[in-house]
């Protein structure tokens, strides 16, 4: 086999791979933010509905960190709040409002780290309980909200 032939084949394979890679990257660019919006919306609607229906495994944790409002009032109101966040993220004109509600709600989700470290950690400050993992995953939601928020203006407006 000649060197030129092997080299030509490698170049052909490289060109095919590059085109496939470009196609996949374009599809990911097109669908990533819409998929992210729907995913975050589903999480908020689902978790919120669990609170409204009084079947949320997080209700006790929420109730343990809020002292001002009775839990039987606060937990369902929080659930409705979360459902609104999810619904607003699904409807493009309301994304800003959804992100605003999300950023008002999210700091409260970190309260157990300060108020109930014995519930959040098996070993402070690094070994998390299941509840602690549930709380820390909100960092991903913050990143997702920032990514979604970066798209609320059209390219012409940016």
Q: Tell me the pLDDT tens digit for each residue of 9-46.
A: 999 999 999 999 999 999 999 999 999 999 999 999 99
Encoded tokens for 4: 């030129």
Average pLDDT for 131-140: 95
Q: What is the pLDDT of residue 24?
A: 97
Distance CA 64, CA 69 (A): 11
Span 76-130, pLDDT tens digits: 999 999 999 999 999 999 999 999 999 999 999 999 999 999 999 999 989 999 9
Rounded to whole angstroms, the maximal C-alpha distance in the chain is 81
| Model confidence band, residue 67 (pLDDT cutoffs 50, 70, 90) | confident
Distance CA 30, CA 44 (A): 23
SS3 per-residue string spanning 69-120: CCHHHHHHHHHHHHHHHHHHHHCHHHHHHHHHHHHHHHHHHCHHHHHCHHHH
Closest C-alpha to 42, from 7, 82, 96: 82
Centre a 10 Å sphere on the Cβ of residue 43 and count the other Cβ atoms it contains: 18
pTM over cut 0.85: yes
Closest C-alpha to 149, from 46, 33, 11: 33
């Amino acid at each position: 086999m000649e060197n030129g032939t092997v080299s030509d084949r490698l170049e052909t394979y490289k060109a095919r791979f590059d085109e496939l890679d470009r196609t996949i990257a374009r599809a990911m660019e097109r669908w990533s933010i819409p998929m992210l919006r729907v995913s975050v919306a589903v999480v908020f609607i689902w978790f919120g509905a669990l609170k409204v229906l009084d079947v949320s495994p997080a209700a006790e944790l929420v109730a343990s960190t809020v002292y001002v409002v009775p839990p039987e009032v606060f937990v369902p109101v929080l659930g409705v709040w979360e459902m609104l966040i999810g619904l607003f993220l699904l409807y493009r004109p309301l994304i800003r409002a959804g992100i605003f509600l999300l950023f008002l709600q999210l700091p409260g989700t970190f309260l157990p780290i300060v108020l109930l470290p014995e519930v959040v950690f098996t070993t402070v400050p690094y070994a998390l309980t299941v509840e602690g993992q549930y709380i820390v995953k909100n960092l991903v939601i913050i990143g997702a909200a920032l990514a979604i928020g970066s798209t609320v203006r059209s390219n012409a407006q940016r």
